[in-house]
Amino acid sequence: MIGAEVRLRVAPKPGVPLAVPVLAGPVLAGQVLAGGTAGAWTGLAAGFAGTVGEVRDCATPEGRVLLLGAGQPQRGTDWEALGAAAVRAAGPVKRLALLARGLPPEAAVALATGAALAAWHPHDAPLRRLDLVVDQPLLVQPLWARAAAAVQGALFTRELTALPGNVLHPAAFAARLETLAEHGIRVDVLGEKRLRRLGAGALLAVGAGAAHGPRLAVLRWRGQFAVPPVAFIGKGITFDTGGISIKPTEGMERMTSDMAGAAACAGAMLAMALRRSPAPAVAVLAIAENTTGGDSYRPGDVLRTMSGRTVEVVDTDAEGRLVLADALHYAVSQHQPQAMLDLATLTGAMVTALGSHRAGIFTNDAALQAQAAAAGDQVGEALWPMPIGARHREDLRSEIADLKQCCAGPLLPDASHAAAFLREFAGDTPWAHLDIAGVRLDEKGLPTGFGARLLDRLVELYFEHPDRH
């Protein structure tokens, strides 16, 4: 288990700091607390408006009580934000109780979800235990089990993404993925030999310069339905120097997180396995280190991808779309998925376009796009539709190969170019591409795990109806 453990209780343990959500207006969640403490709560809350962001830290005979302004929460994400605020307000404590009595079970679960996600830190996370105080633990427990699976998926994604490039090189990434087998996920890691046999010329070229060769990791969750799987395709560049088209020094250290897409796909698989999802899924993760070396691929090289299409390399720093091309083709040809989503920290253009508050979604299937966006909204991972225009595809015409990998020059719509490129390898499969370059890290530079919960929720909402099979 990663992060703080969450346990359900009917009453707070004396001495454990207790976070009490206070709704705006006269309603006080704490008023429903058992025993004779209701009066005490009311007293503590005198003059407390309950607006979002408001905090009152009180010392009481039973221990520390944190009143938290909850405003008028309407959506799960509002309660999640409140849970996160509780953890922030508590400071460096080992154990924290969240008062959720009188709340609907969904709200209680969202409160704990937000707290558990906020309690995570790659090396400095004192909070080990969260007590979720509810009226009827038995009623909340099954909901929490589902939510906890998604939290584990997201935290697994974050742990992987936080690892530096010397620790999480391609071989180490593959080894970490192999540990998912203990949850019932079948893990198959294809090395260079098998990739060569498959003709994965793009993935092999991108990984050629590094000491640890590229891998294609295939994660399978069988589920129960006898239907084609949903496929998650992830970009897993464990470190991206840019290769021969090397990046400037400034900010290069953040390229340790250039595998966040693959990590999110793996996290979603873990979430599905932990909650025993009935829907079958497969994740195809293209793992490589893009670095400089005598064996590195060059601008001007022409690569033959696994699909047979040839690609002219223009910029070795546009490597993500190349490894994804082979991964997408592998997924389509080997697994015939009913729908396919790729996640990638793909372009700087995406950051310029949408900043760090939304990821861009590109698609060949309007329904899948709407579903992904709805799932993202529910878990606070917002998407915004972006276009693939005819001109974007035209711009990729090559004089020497079937298509160019990207264009060169200033002010280019590179995120759309990349999406137009990827679409060529999706074939007729309903496909969506999520460019998560702007959202993979938070304002402190820590991984968000963006995508793991979104994919898990997408499956839960749209691929688990019994009538789908």
Partner 1 sequence: MPEIAFVKPAMPKHGALVLPIAEDGVAAGLHAALDQASGGAITRALEAASFKGRKGQSATIWAPVEGISRVVAIGLGKAGEINAEAAEAAGGATYALVAKERDATVAAEGLPAPLAAAFALGLQLKSYRFDRYRTTEKEDDKPKLEKVVFATDAATACKNAWAPLRAIAEGVFITRDLVSEPPNVLHPVEMAERCKPLEKLGLTIEILGPKEMKKLGFGAFLGVAQGSPVEPRMVVMQWMGASGSGTATAKKKPAQKPVAFIGKGVTFDTGGISIKPAGGMEDMKWDMAGAGTVIGLMAALAGRKAKVDAVGLVGLVENMPSGTAQRPGDVVKTASGQTVEVINTDAEGRLVLCDVMHYAQERFDPRFMVDLATLTGAIIIALGHEHAGMFSNDDTLAQQLAAAGKPVGEAVWRMPLGEAYDKQLKSEIADMKNVGGRPGGSITAAQFIQRFVNKGRPWAHLDIAGVAWSSKDLPTAPKGATAFGVRLLDRLVADHYEG
Virtual torsion, Cα 28, 34, 35, 41, nearest 10 deg = -20
Identify the active-site residue in 56, 146, 222, 247.
247
For residue 404, give the 3-state DSSP assignment: strand
Residue 380: other Cβ atoms inside 10 A: 20
The answer to whether 387 contacts partner 1 (rule: CB under 8 A) is yes
Q: Which residue lies nearer to partner 1 by CB, 29 or 373?
A: 373
Taking CB under 8 A as the rule, which mask of x and - marks residues 357-376 in contact with partner 1? xx------------------
Among the residue ranges 36-44, 74-82, 264-272, 387-395, the one whose residues contact partner 1 (CB under 8 A): 387-395
176, 220, 275, 321: the catalytic one is 321
298 is catalytic: no
Site for partner 1 in 422-441 (CB under 8 A): 438
Q: Which is nearer to partner 1, 260 or 349 (CB)?
A: 349
Beta bridge partners of 234: 285, 343
Interface with partner 1 (CB under 8 A), residue from 132, 260, 327, 349: 349
Residues in the interface with partner 1 (CB under 8 A) total 25
Between 391 and 465, whose beta carbon lies closer to partner 1?
391
Nearest-10 Cα torsion for 435, 441, 447, 448: -70
Look-up of token digits 């390399």: 313
Does 445 help bind partner 1 (rule: CB under 8 A)?
Answer: no
Q: Which of 128, 254, 298, 391 binds partner 1 (CB under 8 A)?
A: 391
Is 380 one of the binding residues for partner 1 (CB under 8 A)? no
**Which residue number, 339 or 420, has a Cβ lying nearer to partner 1?**
420
- Pick between residue 3 and residue 438 the one whose CB is nearest to partner 1: 438
Candidates 351, 370, 374, 446; binder of partner 1 (CB under 8 A) is 351
Strand partners, 69: 22
Classified as helix, coil or strand, 435 is: strand
Minimum separation from the CB atom of position 371 to partner 1 (A): 19
Q: How many CB atoms lie within 10 A of CB 52?
A: 15
Amino acid making up residue 139: L
Minimum CB distance to partner 1, residue 247 (Å): 16
Stretch that binds partner 1, among 48-56, 216-224, 349-357, 396-404 (CB under 8 A): 349-357
Burial letters 348-370, b for 16+ CB under 10 A, else e: ebbbebbeeebbbbbbbbeebbe
Which residue, 203 or 353, is less far from partner 1 as judged by CB? 353
The DSSP 8-state label assigned to residue 365 in this structure reads: -
Nearest approach, Cβ of 366 to partner 1 (angstroms)?
Answer: 15
Active site residue 321: yes
Q: How many CB atoms lie within 10 A of CB 225?
A: 17
From first CA to last CA, the distance across the chain in angstroms is 32
> Residues 302, 412, 446, 461: which binds partner 1 (CB under 8 A)?
412
Question: H helices within 260-399, ranges in order?
Answer: 260-274, 320-335, 348-354, 366-379, 390-394
Q: Which span sits near partner 1 by CB under 8 A: 51-59, 106-114, 262-270, 409-417?
A: 409-417
Is 125 exposed, middle or buried, given 0-12, 13-18 or 19+ CB atoms closer than 10 A?
A: middle
Beta pairing class for 95-99 and 215-221:
unpaired
Minimum CB distance to partner 1 smaller for 105 or for 360: 360
Active site residues: 247, 321
Applying CB under 8 A, the residues found at the interface with partner 1 are: 349, 351-358, 384, 386-387, 389-392, 395, 410-416, 438
